[in-house]
Amino acid sequence: MTDAPAWVVRAARAADLDPLLDLARALGPGMTTLPPDAAVLANKIDCSERTFAGQETDDRQHVLVLEDLADGRVLGISAVYPRIGERHGFFSYKLTKLVQRSELLGRRVDVELLTLSNDYTGATEVGSLAIRPELRGTSAGRLLARSRYMLIAAFPHLFADRVMAEMRGWQDEDGRSPFWDAIGARFFDLPFEEADRLSAVEGAGFIADLMPKQPIYTALLPEDARQAIGRAHAVSAKAMAMLMDEDFRYEAHVDVFDGGPQVHAARDKIRTVQDSRSVQVAETGAGETSPWLVSNTRLEDFRVVETRARAAAGEVAIDETARRALRVDRGAEVRIAPGRERRARADGM
Q: Which residues are catalytic?
A: 233
Question: For residues 112 and 225, is the Cβ–Cβ distance under 8 A?
Answer: no
- Residue 196 host element (H or E): helix 192-202
Asked whether 149 and 272 are in contact (CB, 8 A), the reply is yes
33 SS3 class: coil
Q: Are 304 and 143 in contact (CB under 8 A)?
A: yes
Q: CA 342: distance to chain centroid?
A: 23
Q: What is the CA radius of gyration of the chain?
A: 22
> Any bridge partners for residue 277, and if so which?
336
**CA 134 – CA 148 distance, rounded (Å):** 22
In this structure, which amino acid lies at residue 334? V
CA distance 2 to 107: 66
Q: Is 280 helix (H, G, I), strand (E, B) or coil?
A: strand
- Alpha-carbon distance of 4 to 202, in angstroms, equals 42
Backbone angles phi, psi at 79, to 5 degrees: -155, 160
Instruction: Spell out a b/e string for 70-106, using b for 16 or more CB atoms within 10 Å of the CB, else e.
Output: eeeebbbbbbbbbebbeebbbbbbbbeeeeeeeeeee
* Closest by Cα among 13, 235, 259 to 129: 235
